[in-house]
Structure 1
Amino acid sequence: MVEMFIRRKVLSLVISIVFVLLGIMALMKMPITQFPDIVPPSVTVTAKYTGANAEVSANAVALPLERAINGVPGMTYMSTVTSNDGLTLIQVFFEVGTDPDVAAVNVQNRVTTILDELPEEVIRAGVTTEKEVNSMLMYLNITSADPSQDEQFIYNFTDINVLQELKRIDGVGRAEIMGQKEYSMRIWLDPQKMAAYSISADEVISSLQKQNISAAPGKVGETSGKTSSQLQYVIKYKGKFFEPKQYEEVSHQIRRERNHPEA
């Protein structure tokens, strides 16, 4: 067979051209999801320890997670990055051809076994496990023709209306927006005033957690099933804070609680 292709160079050239044409046709018609895997799939575990630096995050968060994840089926190696903002990012790489869905489930099962060992702040913020293949397919630039819309508005509009739709596309493992510009409220504490009123940062955080909530107060006059009620009133709660003045009044609430403690 080899000698035939060597002697008949024209036949070899024709067969090569046919294979090239078939490859070009397949490249134009074949969906991206059916392309062969050329890079190993990976699973990313993300945890946030608010207020911790890189060293504390490495010891309190990354170390327990690494011990639990190490040895998961199909794993080749993993890399861990901790930052001074309390963010811990663990990437677990698997052999080429490993099903990313199965790998994500196996990693998530390992993470669940050690959640009790993590700090309470990390558990409250949540530990996320996402599958991905380390090959960036596309970048999208979203702009607005209206000059009154700033970068923060475009970011949040994209986060609410565009990003979720992109994640639903078949074959998209991960979609994210570069940079963080979500709507939020940053609270600056005055150390001198806090010392004058003997208020600690923990008290401010505790008061915010009690007041800045989306509560479900229930109803008044709701029937028990045995007796009927003609009038029912749904109790509405003001919900979370949206104005800076509402956050400013938190310190007044703390002082009132100190002056009039609950019995």
Structure 2
Amino acid sequence: MARFFINRPIVAMVISILLVIIGVVAMVQLPVALYPNIAPPEILLTARYPGADAVTLEQSVATPIEQQMSGVDKMLYMYSLNQAAGSQMQLRVDFDVTTDPSVDQVLTNLRYTQAASQLPPDVVNQGVTVIKSVTSPLGLFALYSPKGTYDSLFLANYAYVNINDPMTRVPGIGQVLIFGASQYAIRLWINPDTLAKLDITVNEIASALQAQNTVNPAGQLGGDPVPHGQEFTYTVLAQGRLASVADFENVVVRARPDGALVRVKDVARVELGAQNYIRRGRLNGQPAAIVAVYQLPGS
């Protein structure tokens, strides 16, 4: 057989070329399922505790959740990161490579619900997210104002409103993160001297805002049962959540014995700003919002 190919080199070359072509075609058509997953599924749990430092986050948030998370089915290991900047705790739980990420997410969420009663109320009110984690973004792009007309706060909120949700609904996209600035928020810059003179605490202001910034369903007029001849039903609309700086300024904090009202604007300066100021986005020296797109694990 060897002498046959030695005496006929053209035949040997043709067979070699055919083998290479067949191999390339087979490689392209190879099912993806034949490539094993080598990275273990990871679930990311994020909690926020406004005003807390890293030690407080570790003791009051991370520890109770980690205690409940220990022993979850087919978990390999977990680790947490507590950040004073932003008062945020991130817990990453890694599972066996053979597990289903969707099942791992459900198991992680169930363990979190067991720890929820041990967490500070502010953490529960802020909300805790449990998502499938990916290590690096699939792609990044930036929104910027060429003439500097808009700042990074406006651009980031534009991305939150017009880009975040539509891109998250795209098949294969697991998460969209926006860097550069946070979302809009009403900020109260409190005057401590005025609070001391009026003997008012910050908790009183927070309680007044929570009590007066609510949705108030007022019912309807002319609903069943009604007298004969009633043909119309009218929905009663009451003032709902506060929507402007002026609305927040006029929130009543306390009524004094002489009948005078102490409002928020009497003890604080109210403005429309950002939730936090720990991030700034820039592109070529211009304010920008950076949008990071992450692939859905398993897609």
Please indicate, yes or no, whether the TM-score normalized by the shorter chain is above 0.5: yes
CA distance in 2, matches of 1:258, 1:49: 36
How far is 1:114 from its partner? 1.9
Query: Secondary structure of 2:223's match?
Result: coil
In structure 2, distance between residues paired with 1:151 and 1:34: 45
Q: 1:199 to 1:38 in 2, by over 3 A?
A: same
Q: Please name the residue that 1:51 is paired with.
A: 51
Deviation at 1:152, TM superposition (A): 2.3
Contact 2:50 2:122 in 1 (8 A): yes
Note closer, same or farther for the CA distance 1:116–1:46 as it changes in structure 2 (3 Å cut): same
Are residue 256 (structure 1) and residue 255 (structure 2) matched?
yes
SS in structure 2 opposite 1:39?
coil
Alpha-carbon distance between aligned partners in 2 of 1:83 and 1:119, rounded to the nearest angstrom: 17
In the alignment, what sits opposite 2:71?
A: 71
What whole-Å deviation, never above 9, does each CA across 1:85-124 have from its counterpart, x for those lacking one?
Answer: 4311101112224211111001011111121111111111
Matched residue of 1:187: which SS?
A: strand
Letter in 2 for 1:155: A
> 1:77/1:242 Cα in 2 relative to 1: closer, same or farther (>3 Å)?
same
Larger radius of gyration: 2
The one-letter code of the counterpart of 2:40 is P
In the alignment, is the contact (CA less than 8 A) between 1:39 and 1:135 conserved in 2? no
SS in 2 for 1:55: helix
Q: Which has the higher helix share?
A: 1
In structure 2, distance between residues paired with 1:180 and 1:145? 18
- The residue type equivalent to 1:249 in the other structure is N
Give % identity: 29
Contact 2:195-2:201 at 8 Å conserved across structures: yes
Query: What secondary structure, in the 3-state scheme, does the structure 2 residue paired with 1:133 have?
Result: coil
For the 8 Å contact 1:39–1:134, the answer to whether it is kept is: no
Q: Whose strand proportion is higher, 1 or 2?
A: 2
Work out the CA distance in 2 between the residues paired with 1:164 and 1:35: 31
Answer whether contact 1:39 1:133 (CA < 8 A) is retained: no
1:255 counterpart letter in structure 2: R
Structure 1: how far apart are the matches of 2:143 and 2:23? 40
Q: Which has the higher contact order (CA 8 A, sep 6+)?
A: 2
Q: How is 1:4-15 mapped onto 2 (pairs within 5 angstroms)?
A: 15=19
Match of 1:19 in 2: 23
Q: Give the aligned residue type for 1:19.
A: G
Structure 2 vs 1, CA of residues 135 and 208 (structure 1 numbering), >3 Å: closer, same or farther? same
Aligned residue runs from structure 1 range 99-248, under 5 A: 99-143=100-144, 148-219=149-220, 221-225=221-225, 227=227, 229-248=230-249
How many matched pairs?
246
Distance 1:47 1:135 in 2: 21
> In structure 2, do the counterparts of structure 1 residues 34 and 77 end up closer, same or farther at CA, with 3 Å as the change threshold?
same
- Aligned equivalent of 1:94: 95
The match for 1:4 is none
The answer for the alignment partner of 2:275 in structure 1 is none
Kindly state the Cα deviation for residue 259 of structure 1 after the two structures are TM-superposed: 5.6
In 2, Cα distance between the equivalents of 1:26 and 1:215?
60
- Partners of 1:244 and 1:34 in 2: CA distance: 58
Specify every segment of 5 or more residues in structure 2 that has no aligned partner in the other structure, as ranges: 1-11, 260-299
Equivalent position of 2:81 in the other structure: 81
SS in 1 for 2:143: coil
- State the 1:145 CA deviation: 6.1
Distance 1:187 1:34 in 2: 57
State how far apart, in whole Å, the 2-side matches of 1:95 and 1:227 are. Answer: 67
Q: Counterpart in 2 of 1:5?
A: none
Q: CA deviation at 1:242?
A: 3.1
Q: What is the rounded CA distance, in whole Å, between the counterparts of 2:126 and 2:217 in structure 1?
A: 21
User: Mind listing any 5+ residue stretches in structure 1 that lack a counterpart?
Assistant: 1-8
